[in-house]
Each structure stands twice: as C-alpha cells, then as structure tokens.
Structure 1
C-alpha cells in the first residue's frame, strides 16, 4: 500500500472552512495584541537597533534555531530548547499539511506527503511531539516541584503549562483515533513510522468505528480550539517571549560590550538627565520587559542579590514593565527602589547569563543618572565626599594632585614635561598613585618593564581619575570633566601607546574615551606582560607554589580577557587551582559600579563571599589583576578568620619577584 494518508480525514468541508475562519480570527486577535505591546514600547525614546540589518537577521536566525543562549544557561536549558524544537517541527508539519491540501493537490495534483517523505514526516513529527511533552513535563517538575530560588510561579504559569500539554496530548489522541481506523490493522508497516501515535491508537482498537470517528472529530475540534487559543493569548501572557526573547538577538547592541550612551551636557534643551519616568528610557528598554521570561537566572548570578542586597535584576525589569502599563509611568526610581539601584556593581553577570539578551545595567545607570544629576543623590555621604575630592583634587582620597607621581621617585620612570619619548605611557590610576598597597603594584610593573627593556613615562600631576566610578554612579558631569582633562594631557604628551594596570581605567580609556576623541592603543598590563614573555623580552625564574586567580569583571566580561592573565601566572611557575566561579563566569569582588567609593551597609560584604570561594580551593595565595579587587581583598582579609590564612597579590607582583636577574 502507498505510504500516505487522507488530509483532514473524517473532517467535512464545512468544518474545514470554519477552521480557517477561526484561524483568521485568532491571528487577528494576536496581531492586535502585539500592536498594543508595540504601542507600549513606543513610549520609550528612539534608539537605532536596525543598523547592519543583514548581520542582525543572521544572528537572530542562528540564535533562534540553535537555542544557543538557552542551552548555555544550565538548569532548564535543554528541556526549554527541546520544547521549542518540538513545537517548531510540529508547526512546520502543520504548514506542510495546509500546503498539500490547499495548494499542491488542487492546483498541481502533487502529493508531497507520500512515499519515503511521508514516512520520514510521520516519524519526525511523532518524535517531536514526544520530545515536547517530555520537555514540558521536565519544566513543570522544575517549576512546580523543585522550585529553584528566584523562579516565581503564578496561576498563569499553571494555565500555560496545561494549555501546552493539552495541545500536545489532544494532537496524539487525534492521531491515535485516525490510526486505529486507517493504519494499525490495514497498514501496520506504515503505522510503525508513527510509534507514539500507535501507542495512543491502542485504546481505540476495541471500539466501534462510529464511536472512534466521533471521538476523533471531538478531539480534533478541541485541538483546534487549544491551538487557536494559544495563538490568541501569546501577546497577553508570558508566552509573548516566544517572539520577544529571540528578538533580543536581533536587537542586541553592536557597540563594544559595556558601552553606555553618553549625555550631551551642552544641549541646553535637555530638561531631564537620566530616567525618572518610563518615557525617559529607550523603546528597547521597554521591549526588554516583554522579553523577560522571569526565569530568575540573572538574580541567581547577581553577587548583590546573593549577599542579601535588595537587588534582583529580574525584578528591576518586571518593575519597569509594570510601570510601563500605567498611563504616565511616573515614579520609576521609587518603583525599583534606591537601595536596589545603588547595590548594583555593574559586573554584567546578569546580562551574560540572560537568554533574552536583556540589558539590565544600562537601565540602572540611567536611573542613577537621574538621582545624581537631577537630585544630587549618592549611595552615601562617603561616596559624595569621594566625588567632590575627584572634582577638586583629581582623586577620591582628597590628596594633593601634585603628589600623584610621588610613588615613582627612585624608579626608572620619567614624568612627562613636554613630549613623551618613552615606549609606553603608564596610566597609573588613583589607587596605584595614592594607596600604599597598590603603589607596590605600580613599582612591580615598572621593574618588569625595566627588566624587559621597556621605557616608562607617566603624566604625574597632570593625570586625574579616569572618571569611571563617578560615571557608573550616574555623575556624567564629573566623568566628562576629568575625562576631558586626561585626554588633553595625553594628547599634549604625544604618547604613542598607553598601558594601565586598572581594568576600570583600561575599559574607560580604550572604549569610553574613544567616543570623546582619544584614538590611541590602550592595553591592560596583563596582556602587555604576556606579550613580553611570549616575545622573549622578559625572562622569568619560576617559583613553585599554588594559587587561585580572581577575574576582574571589567577584564573577563567587559573585555573578554581571561586566559592571558593565567598564561602569565603559569609562566611564573604557579600552579593554578580555579574557584568554582571563574573566567567569564566569575564572581564580583563588590567594587564595580562605583561601589569602591561607597560603604557596603546592606547584606553581607560581597568580597567575603568571594574570599570564601577562594579558601575552598585550598590555595594560600589569591592573585588578581585589578587595584579595586586587591583593595577589596585586603579589606576583607582584615575581617577574615586568621585560622584560614590567604594572601592577596596583583599579577605584576608575582611576575616581578620571578624575574630572572641573570
């Protein structure tokens, strides 16, 4: 017998016509619902996220079909991807049936669903339906029984799971009833290609054919109602993330990671800096509130949330979404809460793990800008004093700007007076210039350069804070003031290359200053030292001990530099023992986002949790490559239990003491 089947078996033409009318109505309801959502997004400011459209579309299609981001988020990723793939194949199968019935057969007398293609079609769709049901069951167990921390569940989630299960189960009942009449007895060889359908056919085999046909038609109508109801409710429930979550890949920023929009401070027509109402955010910010599936993965990675701070990146997004539904959208900061906003370290752990490509930090910075620039608010008086000191003295410590180069006395370092004739301009940063502990790092870096035959110059008193901490606290005015001063001094020096040991300075000079016109190669000392070693310019006499390495968020996540520092550590003879969270999946020290300038008054110190993770490795040395991280570790170690000693070092210190003096 030919391998095929009758399209719309047991369904009369009038019912088929009714199906198409109902389908049109369901699609119209869905389209109208999405128009309402688009109108909500349009409350936000304009933002161009459709440049490089061909590249964006390719990225979108790849991400959507591969479910790459969903699979990368660990728990629940595989079942979610299987559910998507299963429904996608079932949708394709439905489209092929419609093409066969309404186009190929009546117009071209072609039967696509026949022979080997039909056998494969039946087998693939059977397995797709089974995979989708198993995946749905796994997700239901995770959500309703295991209940991971942070995964919020409501009655709507129960309804959605039941609706999806009803669609799949009724589809197999339809197939089982049809196969009981047409295939299981009459064409068992073909029935074998629908193994799941054959199982569902067994209960119908002993029934009267008229009863089976009646049951089939009833199940068919139920399946139709479930399917069309599913389409209609997509834009009005969390199911809209089927479109918006994948759409996040289409609308991702193409600027370098961690690039945040600058403010034109000279525009006299701007009456509001930052975001105090929903309409102050961009339309993409509001789109993100619909893309969020409330999976909780962002807050499961958030160091502030995990240490008892009132910050949940997920709740920031849902709060904005709730407020966007209000007519005026006022009270944005109050809705999210000041404590939540000031708790963020801008580490980007939330954005990295988010399968929907949601941009949490830009929204937080916009609200901080409103607090800092419009209300003069800071996370504490100590942060206010630090910013005032940066404005007056060029550093958060309030020390004299003329003492900024004092650390270099007696070292082979030249302070630039005219034009720079050294190989590199070392942008020292505030901590290496003024903090006694971090001065040792600067001294070590200079010794490394000396051993490698690299000449070093500094700006001395002409150098000011890079402005990054102030900018992350929302004080764009202060950032621009010190940035313009630094750029002027760097240009006047005639320097050809800049190296800095601070990832915050590195990220700011290499990316943010470029927007302000500084076009010089900027490098972090970890990659600079790695190249000196690889080029044979720096010879090391390896020491032998075990250490663990802490990744600065502004290196690993913002600049994707994680392996080079480890290469340097290994070259120094150190055996690395990794913490559970390392590399791009590392854990913040708590100093980012301007938090280095503010006291940590809520929850437990983030650095204490990171030190606990370091101790679990059994290593006695903790190596990092950031002055902020080193300062946080030193402060944390003063509070630590002396029975578990561990010492903190910068990468440059480890290398400097390993230099082969011969």
Structure 2
C-alpha cells in the first residue's frame, strides 16, 4: 500500500512538473522567430563552460560575486552528484531492498562523494545565510521564495544524513565511506535501527524533493531549467546585436516593440533564465546613481508581462503593453522593482555601457530589449524626452548632434595640411574623424594630436571633410533606427564611391558602429581604433616613443572600446611606453564604470548623482596625476568631472595626445 501511495504521489508531482514546463514552453512560442542555432560547437562550449562548469560566476573579480559563485557552484555540483542517490531512493520507494551496490567498487566511491557533497551543500547554505543576514547586499531580492528554497535544500541534506545514519545502526558501525553521516550517527547516539524513523525520514525527504521539483517552474528557480539552454543560445555576434527593421516594407504599421509577443523567443527565454542574482544591478551605473533603471527588472518585467498576458495571448485578446508611464514604488531594501510593466523613464537612463550583460551568468541581453522598446516609442509613437527633439533634428539636418553646418566640419584641421579624400584618392587609410572631434573644442585636440602623429609616422591618410556624416551611433541607441539607417547608407555609399578599404577612428562609438553594424547594410571595411593603429605603427617602427613622460596616470576604459570591443591592452601599453606609471582604478578593464555619455545620455538631463562625478572620484582616488582615455565622449565627461571639483592639477588626456607628447 505504501508503495502504491508513493507511486501516486510521484506520478502526480512529476506529471504536474512536466505540465507546467510544457505550458512555459508554449508561451515562448508566442515570441518572434530568431536564429540562434548556428555554430553549435561554440554554443555547446558556452553551455558547458558557463552552465555545467559554473565559470559564469567568475567573469569579474568581485568579492561578493565570487563568494556567491562558490556558493552556487557547491549547490549545483552537489545536486549533480546527489542525483544518482535520489534515483536510488525513488526506486527504494517501490523496492525497499534496492541499492546500486551491484556497481561493485564504484558504489563505495559514490557513497563517499554523496556524503561529501551533501556536506558541501550544507556549507553553501550556511554561506548563503551569512550573506543574506550579515552582509545583506542591496542587489538581492529578499523574497520568501528564496528562503523557502534554502529550507527545502537543508531538509533534503539533513534527511539524507539521517537515513544514512540509520542504515549504520543496522551494523552498529560507522561506514568509513560516509564520514559526515557517521558524524550524525555519533552525535545522535543512535542505538538501533528504527523502521518507523527511517520511513518518516524517507517520506519527509520525498515530499520536500517533489515539492521542490514542482516549485522550480513556478518561481525564480526556473533558471535551474533555463540557464544552461540560455547560455547555449547566447549571442555570438557583436555585443549589442539588434534586429533588423525593414523600412522598405510598405505594409509595416509599426516599428519596435510594444507588446511582449513582439519580442523574440530568445528575449522571452532570458526572463526564464534570470537568476535574480542582482549582479547586473550591482554594476549598472544608472542603478547605482539614483536612477529608476535596474537592468534585472527589465528582464523580469518582460517575464512578468508574459505571465500577466498569458491568457490573453492564448485567447488572442488585447494585451497589456510592456511599458508604462507610471513610476515604480521605491524598495526600502534595495533597488526598484517593476512588476509586469517597465517604466518608460528607465529606458532613457541606459548608457548602453554593457556592464549588465558582461556580468550576467546566464547570457541575458538587456540592451537590445531596451532599444526595441525605445524604437517603438520613437518611430511609432513619436514619444521621447523633449531634450532629444533638437538632437534628432540636428542629426537629420546637419548630420551631427551639435547641429553645426557641415561647412565647418574640417575647421579643427586648419593649418595642419590635412588632405581630403578628393585630394588624396590613393590614401593608405581613411581617418573617420567623428562628430565629437569635429565640433567639440576639447575633442578637436584629439583629432589634431592624432593627425600630427600620423604625419610624423609618414602615414598616407585622408579625411572625408564635408562629406563625412555622423556614424549614427547616438540615433541607433536612442531608438531612432530610421535616422541611423539613412546615415549609415549615405556613409557606406561615400566609402564605396572612393573605394575605401581601411578606416581608422578616434571614437570607440564610431569604431563599434562602423565595424559591427555597417556590415549588415553592405559596408564591409577594415576598421581600426586609433589605439590599435598607433600600436601597429609602433611595432612597425614608424613611431618611436621617447619614454620621457615621468608621471603617474590611470587609464579609463571606455565602455565601447573595452566591454563592447574587447580592446584593453593596446592603450595601456602605449601609455606605459610613453613613460607613464599606470595605476589601475578599482573598476577597470571589463569592470570599468561608465562615464555617463553613452547611449545618447550625453544629450539628456541626468537625474540623481552624475555618473561622470562618480567615475572622476574613482580616478582621483588613485592619486594619479593624469587620467588617460581613448574616447572623445569620455574625455568630455571626465574633464567636466575634474573641473566640477576644481582639480585643475589633474590632466585629462587622450591616448593620441600621450603619443604626440612622447614621440622622439
């Protein structure tokens, strides 16, 4: 009778689990098609490395993230090892005398591993409790479900030890292959085997195990099922890969995303995979300077909106949109929480720095979700911050956000004898100056220094002059895809008309856009950032640095040069060769803190604490005499940051200026 009852409970529980999983899978089918099935070997490598081997927890060097990574890895590997023991127990529910002892010498080895990993899981639970009740990090969600899971896991481990200890009571001896269960046997001073006690422990264990199983697809622990597939289907292309919009289709009534079923199935899967660990919030410059934006809540907002609209999706009825004008209520314990509607204000606070995506353990793609939503706001609704009206108009009429006429685009080059492509059609390389270095007085110095470096290195280069247009980066990140599309097409036509093969930029935003996004529109060119090009010139012996600058400096990693383009060492090597003694900021390399200018934020009014002030303070804390960067937008923001605190003794330099100063 007991076996029959156990069988019924098992079938009902497992049946419900698969019913719920199938339901969740059916919701993914409402998402738009997306090809994430190419390059299966690369994808398998991602799934193994970040999922099975748990390397996803060690992407950056951070005390809390690495601590949590060890904790989660212990639980994950513990459950992998304990899975075989659970199978053995389930079979025992039908055949009490069953065991895997027929495996011979392997069985004692497994008993030892099971005992060891059960103990390590207990250690991980203690680590989790210390973290939640002692450290109390802001990034965590302190919901009851998290504590319920910890209770479930603890009960499972303790009942395993207790059942093993009862088995030892049959012989009156400690099994040497189960030292921790043996410790329980001794501590409880179990004198004899109790059939009743064993059955109670067995049923408690199984009820908790099956409750845990059914809780997984109904809680944040859905990531247990979705995280490895999500790592398999990770983006293998450029870090901010976006969906193409077809502006030639006259039947298209709207662009961008309004409702959850307009997202792709992979964007919906991101919500399932989210562990709610809060790492994206921890590293987000907006979330940590008093903004409404919390990257985690963008992903969770999509998931909650999917669940909220599930019945209407199935019934093909009107849906609740993803975005709301309402602001979320403040969370006294941590960051804002959105629910099933994302506040539109949050979308216009993202700098697209990529810190969230870089640290995410399950390969979620926060940026494209926000860009998709902004595309709908800009292209379909025509609703966006008022500050952007003149910016879009400037780009549309004068091909630059400053709104300065193209006739003045080459003013920075007066008296430098810079040739345009019309004057030097066989140029070795085209220098794509960019809007900032063409029109902003501080950034002009970058272009001037770089040109003098090229001239001293006898590089045969040319510029487009009046024919150069904005690369479209700001327009695209702000959701104005149509404006980006037109700018890109015009630039590509110009490049092709002059048979341009090689382009160098002094702006990481232009570098990323020309290199990664123009190719989809037919613009295939070799694109280099000026730090890469200068590094090549040094290696070729065309530039010699005198190593005569004996000063200290700290290097600020531009988001678009570092995280988005993986260029970290070239500018540092150049600065070191020039004679600078570099000191790293706490947030450096892939963990760099954004200056606040990216994603079009340069043109918007920033609420809360200013990001550039935070980053400037981090730089000043190194006691360096200079802040070196390799991005005109970063230079503007950091220079403002230094001036705001009246630290005129600190220099803010671009890597091109560093090279010019040091050239022999």
Taking structure 1 as the reference length, the TM-score comes to: 0.92
Please name the residue that 2:338 is paired with: none
Moved more, 270-279 or 455-464: 270-279
Please name the residue that 2:216 is paired with: 234
Please name the residue that 1:198 is paired with: 182
Q: Is the 8 A contact 2:556 2:629 kept in 1?
A: yes
Please name the residue that 2:131 is paired with: 142
Alpha carbons of 1:20 and 1:71: their partners in 2 closer, same or farther (altered >3 Å)? farther
Cα distance, 1:234 vs. partner? 1.4
For residue 510 of structure 2, the aligned residue among 502, 505, 511 is: 505
Please name the residue that 2:334 is paired with: none
Q: Is the 8 A contact 2:424 2:462 kept in 1?
A: no
Question: How many Å separate the matches in 2 of 1:304 and 1:76?
Answer: 23
Q: Residues 500-548 of structure 1: CA distance to partner in whole angstroms, max 9, x if unpaired?
A: 0000000000010011111110000001101111221101112111100
Q: Residues 443-496 of structure 1: CA distance to partner in whole angstroms, max 9, x if unpaired?
A: 111111111111110000110000000110000011011111111111111222
How many residues get paired? 633
Please name the residue that 2:385 is paired with: 379
Cα distance, 1:138 vs. partner? 1.0
**Structure 2 residue 610 is matched with structure 1 residue 577:** no
Alpha carbons of 1:268 and 1:547: their partners in 2 closer, same or farther (altered >3 Å)? same
Alpha carbons of 1:197 and 1:110: their partners in 2 closer, same or farther (altered >3 Å)? closer
For residue 301 of structure 2, the aligned residue among 310, 315, 319 is: 319
Alpha carbons of 1:506 and 1:208: their partners in 2 closer, same or farther (altered >3 Å)? closer
Cα distance, 1:206 vs. partner? 5.0
Cα distance, 1:369 vs. partner? 0.6
Please list, as runs of the form range in 1=range in 2, the aligned pairs for 1:440-451 lying within 5 A after superposition.
440-451=445-456
Please list, as runs of the form range in 1=range in 2, the aligned pairs for 1:268-307 lying within 5 A after superposition.
268-307=250-289
Please name the residue that 1:179 is paired with: 168
Question: How many Å separate the matches in 1 of 2:485 and 2:373?
Answer: 18
Alpha carbons of 1:16 and 1:445: their partners in 2 closer, same or farther (altered >3 Å)? same
Cα distance, 1:597 vs. partner? 2.2
Q: Residues 313-353 of structure 1: CA distance to partner in whole angstroms, max 9, x if unpaired?
A: 11122222222122344231212112211000000101111
Alpha carbons of 1:319 and 1:110: their partners in 2 closer, same or farther (altered >3 Å)? closer
For residue 606 of structure 1, the aligned residue among 603, 611, 624 is: 611
Please name the residue that 2:74 is paired with: 82
Moved more, 532-541 or 43-52: 43-52
Question: How many Å separate the matches in 2 of 1:533 and 1:596?
Answer: 33
Alpha carbons of 1:394 and 1:459: their partners in 2 closer, same or farther (altered >3 Å)? same
Taking structure 2 as the reference length, the TM-score comes to: 0.91
Q: Is the 8 A contact 1:549 1:623 kept in 2?
A: yes
Unaligned runs of 5+ in 1: 1-13
**Structure 2 residue 321 is matched with structure 1 residue 331:** yes
Question: How many Å separate the matches in 2 of 1:620 and 1:329?
Answer: 56
Please name the residue that 2:115 is paired with: 126
Cα distance, 1:419 vs. partner? 6.8
Unaligned runs of 5+ in 2: 60-64, 310-317, 325-340
SS of residue paired to 2:183: helix
Q: Residues 9-61 of structure 1: CA distance to partner in whole angstroms, max 9, x if unpaired?
A: xxxxx645654443333221111111121122223222122223344234313
SS of residue paired to 1:177: helix
Alpha carbons of 1:27 and 1:658: their partners in 2 closer, same or farther (altered >3 Å)? same
RMSD over aligned CA atoms reads 2.2
Rg (Cα) greater in structure: 1
Question: How many Å separate the matches in 2 of 1:488 and 1:393?
Answer: 18
**Structure 2 residue 448 is matched with structure 1 residue 460:** no
Please name the residue that 1:43 is paired with: 30
Q: Residues 547-604 of structure 1: CA distance to partner in whole angstroms, max 9, x if unpaired?
A: 000011001111100011101111111110110001111010001111122232x101
Alpha carbons of 1:21 and 1:113: their partners in 2 closer, same or farther (altered >3 Å)? farther
SS of residue paired to 1:255: coil
SS of residue paired to 2:599: coil
Runs of 4+ displaced beyond 6 Å: 96-103
